[in-house]
Amino acid sequence: MSPKPLLDLICPAGSLPALKAAVDHGADGVYLGLKDNTNARNFAGLNFDEKTLAEGIRYAQGKKKKVLMALNTYPQPATLPRWHQAVDKAATLGIDAVILADPGLMAYARKTHPDLRLHLSVQGSATNYEAINFYRDRFGIQRAVLPRVLSLAQVENVINNTPVEIELFGFGGLCVMVEGRCLLSSYACGDSPNTFGACSPGHAVRWQQTAKGMETRLNGILIDRYADDEKAGYPTLCKGRFEVEGETYYALEEPTSLNSLEMLPEMYRLGVAAIKIEGRQRSPTYVAQVTQVWRAAIDAVKQAPDAFASKATWTAQLVKVSEGSMHTLGAYYRPWK
């Protein structure tokens, strides 16, 4: 049996150019999805058809890198065969692992393709080791991606009580909700990210220049209004500015990116199997830039964890592609605990 991975770098591939950028700049693996609602980044212009998927697998595996397929939405009875066919396609094409959230789909994958490696998606909302061990015992899950709501102390408790590999988000868009359980987009649009495959789907998004400034709306709901000198962001309910008791501000979450670079030595000590970079909806340039920085940082921490220090040049590069040009340690760091 091969040794368990430690701080593998798993990078986003929303397109074939992005996949190649990740592989060429140091990713140990990439994750991707198909051009439909079987994955949670179901946006126009993103993802893979069968031809580009086969080419991407050849490219990545030809350079000894892994390809993980996200099938992390929840099938509905009328369209269940689409998800089954996606699992079959992954197995036929030689995908290294599929990332699943739905227990029924896990059962299908385990029964139909017993040699196919299964990972538990962040959309499965498993925040404790009991849940993760249940998925392992019942469906053979070998890795779990944790939601971005746990402190590192809580992550350590999970790792110490399960043989399942643990993957953490390291950089990218930050979600303060427990993934897989958020209903905000469903409430506004009528399309659940868990079934439609997109939070704040493109068909519901509108930008409009008004006398008061650039307004962004989601299914007609005013999410934000920007002054002429502000950059207008993508309208998601959790990152909008709202009037609360006469004050207008980011009432739920400020637009900022997760950046846990400085916590790499602790993640290494805990035995974190993989670091995941968010951003399948981002450009190949973003993927290349972020992958290059994180590759250098992970190599440095593996070589000398006690001497590791996050370089200012790394942070500067990451700030350039951070949401709102800001970054945070998110829930990982809670000094008040």
Rounded Cα–Cα distance for residues 9 and 274 (Å)? 6
Residue 17 φ/ψ, nearest 5 degrees: -60, -40
% pLDDT > 90, the chain: 70
Instruction: Kindly state the DSSP code that residue 181 receives in the 8-state scheme.
Output: -
Nearest CA-CA partner of 96 in 147, 162, 27, 160: 27
Give the residue from 136, 134, 167, 173 showing the smallest Cα distance to 150.
167
Domains of the chain: 8-174+256-332 (3.20.20.70), 195-249 (no CATH)
Residue 2 pLDDT: 63
Lowest mean pLDDT, pick from 105-109, 198-202, 223-227: 198-202
User: What is residue 214's three-state secondary structure?
Assistant: strand
pTM over 0.75: yes
- The band of 313, judged by pLDDT with boundaries at 50, 70 and 90, is very high
Task: Give me the pLDDT at residue 156, please.
Answer: 96
- Whole-number pLDDT of residue 134: 98
Write the CB contacts of 80 (distance below 8 Å, at least 6 apart in sequence). Answer: none
Residue 337: pLDDT over 70: no
Going by pLDDT thresholds of 50, 70 and 90, the confidence category of residue 303 is very high
User: With bands split at pLDDT 50, 70 and 90, how would you rate the model's confidence at 233?
Assistant: confident
Answer positive or negative: Cα dihedral of 153, 133, 70, 217.
Answer: negative
Question: Using one digit for the tens of pLDDT, what is the confidence trace for 107-145?
Answer: 999 999 999 999 999 999 999 999 999 999 999 999 999
d(CA 24, CA 33): 20
Contact 11, 292 (CB under 8 A): no
How far is C-alpha 163 from the geometric centre of its chain's CA atoms?
22
Joined together, the tokens standing for residue 201 give: 């789907």
State residue 335's pLDDT score: 67
What is the separation, in whole angstroms, between the first and last Cα of the chain? 38
The alpha carbon of 185 is separated from its chain's Cα centroid by a whole number of angstroms, namely: 17
Q: Which pLDDT score is estimated for 63?
A: 98
Q: Is residue 139 within 8 Å of residue 121, measured between CB atoms?
A: no
- CA atoms of 300 and 31, how far apart (whole Å): 24
Q: Give residue 1's pLDDT band: very low, low, confident or very high (50, 70, 90).
A: low
Residue 168, beta-bridge partner list:
275
The helix (H) or strand (E) run that includes residue 207 is: strand 205-210
> CA nearest 329: which of 128, 126, 127, 149?
149
